Amino acid sequence: MSTKLSLNEFTESLAGMIEYSQSLQITNEKEYKKLLNILSKIISGELTHRQQQCIIMRYYKNLTVTEIAFRLGIGKSTVSRHIKKAKSRLYKLLDYYIFSK
């Protein structure tokens, strides 16, 4: 599985991007694409390989936690933990990139 993502691979449900962009009051396409670009860099550079796999399978491929666990050969609770940690990291880093620059 490639760790490099392009923007068109994201769904709007990825890690709650709709709610996140609304909370930041991002209203135009340029700002939204900037947000997705930042998110792409964070996913490819800041998450572990397993976290990347789980996030991509859950939010891009729309697989259930059970399906992800089966495909990766790990427990459902492990998948949930990877997703939870990845989302937490994504939100923290998005806040940093957006509000510090």
Residue 36 has pLDDT above 50, yes or no: yes
Q: Which pTM was predicted?
A: 0.65
The structural domains of the chain, with segments of one domain joined by +, span 11-99
* Rounded-to-integer distance, Cα 73 and Cα 67, Å: 10
- For all residues of the chain together, what is the average pLDDT? 75
* Rounded-to-integer distance, Cα 12 and Cα 18, Å: 6
Q: Degrees (nearest 5) of the Cα angle 52, 56, 62?
A: 150
Concatenated DSSP letters for 17-37? HHHHHHHTT--SHHHHHHHHH
Residue 30 has pLDDT above 80, yes or no: no
Q: Which CATH architecture group holds 11-99?
A: Orthogonal Bundle (1.10)
Q: Quote the pLDDT of residue 54.
A: 93
Name which residue leads in pLDDT, 25 or 44.
44
